Structure 1
Amino acid sequence: MATAVITSKGQVTIPIEIRNFLCLGKGDKIDFRIMKKRTIAITPVNCRTSDVFGILSGKTRKKASDSEIKMKMTEHFKKNFK
């Protein structure tokens, strides 16, 4: 179990083990969902298809491999979402 403290501004630092488990980094968004018995669920916000649509457009006429697509998507996310 991880514990955090709420600041006077209502801010909480998410413990590193939780950030690592959810693969969260600077600038990432998370959803809070109220559950039963005074608990909440925290889930990372996934990107929309429209966030990455067209990032390979005009780059090449050849078919991209899975690794090339993954690399381009990673570059795009680092540039636009961090």
Structure 2
Amino acid sequence: MKRISSVTQKGQVTIPQVVREKLGIKYGDKVAFSFNEEGQVIIDRVSTDLDELYGILSDKKSSTPLEEERKLSREWIGEQKGRE
């Protein structure tokens, strides 16, 4: 069954819910548009490296005091600038 959406003045189209669910598209996701040999439009969800990293960090706070972390960050930035 075909799903129909209208194009806004800005060229935006709402992807129907059934299509979003089928492709696993959620709010904030990126989509890619391409064409197959017959000229039909192909829509794919674009996964980013961040998608694979989501949730791997623990909720534990660092044991390093904030001022020490800031000092280490400034030192690291200074080292990176020295490599330029």
Q: TM-score, normalised by structure 1?
A: 0.56
Q: Tell which structure's C-alpha radius of gyration is larger.
A: 2
Q: Distance in 2 between matches of 1:56 and 1:23?
A: 23
Question: How far apart, CA to CA, are the structure 1 residues paired with 2:49 and 2:57?
Answer: 16
Unaligned runs of 5+ residues in structure 1 are: 60-82
RCO (CA 8 Å, sep 6+): is it higher in 1 or 2? 1
Matched, 1:13 2:14: yes
Q: Percent identity?
A: 35
Q: CA offsets per residue over residues 29-81 of structure 1, 9 Å max, x none?
A: 1110122333110010123279518x347x6xxxxxxxxxxxxxxxxxxxxxx
Give me the whole-angstrom Cα distance separating, in 2, the residues matched to 1:10 and 1:49.
28
Q: Measure, in 2, the Cα distance between the counterparts of 1:8 and 1:35.
A: 27
Q: Over aligned residue pairs, what C-alpha RMSD do you find?
A: 2.7
Q: Secondary structure at the match of 2:18?
A: helix
TM-score with structure 2 setting the length: 0.55
Q: How many residues align?
A: 59
Structure 2 residues not aligned, in runs of 5+: 61-84
Distance 1:50 1:32 in 2: 19
What is aligned with 2:70? none
